Amino acid sequence: MTAVRENGGPLLASYGDEDLGRRVSRTLGNGTSTGYGYDGASRLTALTLNGGGQPNAAAFDYNPAGQIASRTLSNDAYGWAGAVNADRASAVNGLNRYTASGAVVPTYDGRGNLTAAGGASYLYNGKNQLSGANGTYLYYDAAGRLDQVTQSNLVFSHNARMYSPTLGCFLQADPIGITRRPSRPPRRPERSIAWGGRAFHCRRGMSRRY
């Protein structure tokens, strides 16, 4: 792709690529442009922005592991000014773990996982994967990939219906339905028992499947 036009008319953007297929330029319809430069390992080494009254050229250097080691900008307006100076004494033990960082005293489990620091607490499963932190819980699939994240004060989608961790129940009925006709025990209108053994306990208009 070399250009994008609106209904075949005004130019929205044009692109330039070199022989190796790497993007070297992008020019928008308003005249602003971006240029890209690479090293022999196809790592981005130069990023040039022109237009808008704030041109900038960024240069990147890498360490032997291929990680960005430094970034140099030609325009300070693009610099990040969020950093602040801090003077904090820290202590490290023989396992290269912090035992203190200022007033914070971290704690670890037997496997070396951080379990608490500065009011935050962390949980791990049997595979040493982070499974919880301050009311947020993480679940993984059989391949070890993050599959689901829940928080105690939010509502989350479980494919066909919504689930509230705070209430501990689904907010909607099971779309599969009850395969057999349910019966209701005497004086227990909030509880429905399916003849197949499945029970649904409802409260405050919500339902939880057991």
pLDDT in tens, 103-129: 999 999 999 999 999 889 999 999 999
**What single letter denotes the amino acid at residue 169?**
C
Q: Is the pLDDT of residue 188 over 80?
A: no
Q: Is the pLDDT of residue 151 over 70?
A: yes
Q: Is the pLDDT of residue 177 over 60?
A: no
What CA dihedral angle connects 166, 172, 174 and 179, to 10 degrees?
Answer: 120
Alpha carbon 35 to its chain centroid, in Å, reads 29
What is the percent of the chain where pLDDT is above 90?
46
Work out the mean pLDDT of the chain and round it to a whole number: 79
**What single letter denotes the amino acid at residue 110?**
G
Which class for 124: exposed (0-12), middle (13-18), buried (19 or more C-beta within 10 A)?
A: middle
pLDDT at 109: 94
Q: Mention every residue, 6+ apart, whose C-beta is less than 8 A from residue 41.
A: 66
Of 51 and 25, more confident: 25
Q: Could you give the CA distance from residue 108 to residue 26 in angstroms, rounded to a whole number?
A: 49
| Domain range list for the chain | 3-78, 90-151
| Letter string b/e over residues 145-169, b meaning 16 or more CB atoms within 10 A of that residue's CB | eeeeebeeeeeeeeeeeebbbeeeb
Q: Could you give the CA distance from residue 19 to residue 8 in angstroms, rounded to a whole number?
A: 27
Contact criterion met (CB below 8 Å) for 73 and 56: yes
- pLDDT-derived band at 209 (thresholds 50, 70, 90) equals very low
Using only C-alpha atoms, the chain has a radius of gyration, in whole angstroms, of 28
Residue with tokens 């080494």: 45
DSSP string, 82-100: --------EEE-TTS-EEE
Q: What are phi and psi of 78, to 5 degrees?
A: -95, 0
Q: Looking at residue 207, what DSSP letter applies?
A: E
**What single letter denotes the amino acid at residue 204?**
R
Q: Which helix (H) or strand (E) holds 59?
A: strand 56-62
Lowest mean pLDDT among 19-33, 50-64, 76-90, 183-197: 183-197
Residue 82: both structure tokens together: 């969020």
Contact criterion met (CB below 8 Å) for 162 and 169: no
Residue 182: both structure tokens together: 């349910």
Q: Is the pLDDT of residue 40 over 80?
A: yes
